[in-house]
């Protein structure tokens, strides 16, 4: 069973992203604040007990199970938010910064304000250098200060260790899948409904055949043949 929390703070938020390794589509970040879980609360709340028993790293769940758990997470969460960072912004500030920025945007939108943040990965939530982005959201000085003021902890494989990060992982993955499924309807030649923009052999071959479109990340290289996506 996953751990209920890292800190003793009342409003600990878990954060994760999906789509970081893709050649196309956004990177999607999610933040979730779940109730402080106790054994007594689980006895009283059957839905919460079900969620706790079935939550896991989104990569270890089937697509069907992820979409089944999403409404349950949204119903039981104190607060949640999902943010998409576009391929254009990814190209401008790089994929790591885009992932961090998405999680920071989620933090700002969570109500109540988190009092602690736990993040999947080994990078701090606040990068040492400002983003200097021209596309997407531009943080005001007070927003940057707020993000910096909230204590946080980065946890390697946190989505397989903590409930709130696992919940954020599921929201990020399913909402990004929705985006790629919708883009597939406009650009069926890339088969995004199946590959979701990841660098699968199928996706790489379709890029070779048809070139790239506005939803591809132009600064990424095809790992198989170092094809620069311009």
**Cβ-contact 97, 75 below 8 angstroms:** no
Question: Measuring CA to CA, how many Å separate 161 from each of 19, 91, 150, 226?
Answer: 20, 31, 21, 35
Look at the block and give the residue holding tokens 């945007």.
105
Contacts (Cβ under 8 Å, ≥6 apart) of 57:
157, 159, 160, 166, 169
Residue 40: count of CB within 10 angstroms of its CB: 8
How far apart CA 224 and CA 201 sit, in angstroms, is 8
**DSSP-based three-state secondary structure for 43:** helix
Instruction: Provide the residue-wise pLDDT of the chain in tens; the chain has 230 residues.
Output: 789 899 999 999 999 999 999 999 999 999 999 998 888 888 888 888 888 888 876 778 899 999 999 999 999 999 999 999 999 999 999 999 999 999 999 999 999 999 999 999 999 999 877 788 999 999 999 999 999 999 999 999 999 999 999 999 999 999 999 999 999 999 999 999 999 999 999 999 999 999 999 999 998 764 433 344 43
Which pair of tokens denotes residue 7?
């800190």
- What's the CA gap between 22 and 189, in Å, rounded? 17
DSSP 153-207: EEETTGGGTBHHHHHHHHHHHHHHHHHHHHHHHH-GGG-HHHHTT---HHHHHHH
Q: What is the pTM of this model?
A: 0.92
> What residues pair up with 210 in beta bridges, in sequence order?
none
Q: What does the chain come to in residues?
A: 230
Nearest Cα to 24, choosing from 170, 222, 173, 171? Answer: 222
Specify the pLDDT at position 225. 39
Sorted by where each starts, the structural domains of the chain and their CATH numbers stand as: 12-181 (3.30.420.10)
Residue 226 pLDDT: 37
Q: Kindly write down the DSSP assignment for every residue of 105-160, as one continuous string.
A: HHHHH-SSPPSEEEEESSS-SS-SS----SSS----HHHHHHHHHS-EEEETTGGG
């Amino acid at each position: 069973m996953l751990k209920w929390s890292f800190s003793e703070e009342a409003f600990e938020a878990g954060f994760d992203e999906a789509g970081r390794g893709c050649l196309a589509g956004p990177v999607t970040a999610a933040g979730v604040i779940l109730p402080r879980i106790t054994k007594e609360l689980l006895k009283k709340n059957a839905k919460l007990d079900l969620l706790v028993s079935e939550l896991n790293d989104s990569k270890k769940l089937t697509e069907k199970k992820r979409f089944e758990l999403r409404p349950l997470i949204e119903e039981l969460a104190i607060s949640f938010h999902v943010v998409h960072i576009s391929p254009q912004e990814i190209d401008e500030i790089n994929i790591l910064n885009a992932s961090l920025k998405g999680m920071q945007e989620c933090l700002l939108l969570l109500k109540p304000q988190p009092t602690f943040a736990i993040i999947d990965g080994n990078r701090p939530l606040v990068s040492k250098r400002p983003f200097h982005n021209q596309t997407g959201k531009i943080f005001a000085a007070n927003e940057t200060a707020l993000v910096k003021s909230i204590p946080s902890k980065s946890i390697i494989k946190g989505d397989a260790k903590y409930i709130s990060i696992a919940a954020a992982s599921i929201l990020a993955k399913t909402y990004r899948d929705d985006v790629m499924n919708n883009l597939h309807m406009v650009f069926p030649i890339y088969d995004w409904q199946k590959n979701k923009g990841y660098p699968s052999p199928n996706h790489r071959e379709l890029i070779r055949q048809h070139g790239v479109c506005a939803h591809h990340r132009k600064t990424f290289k095809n790992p198989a043949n170092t094809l620069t996506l311009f």
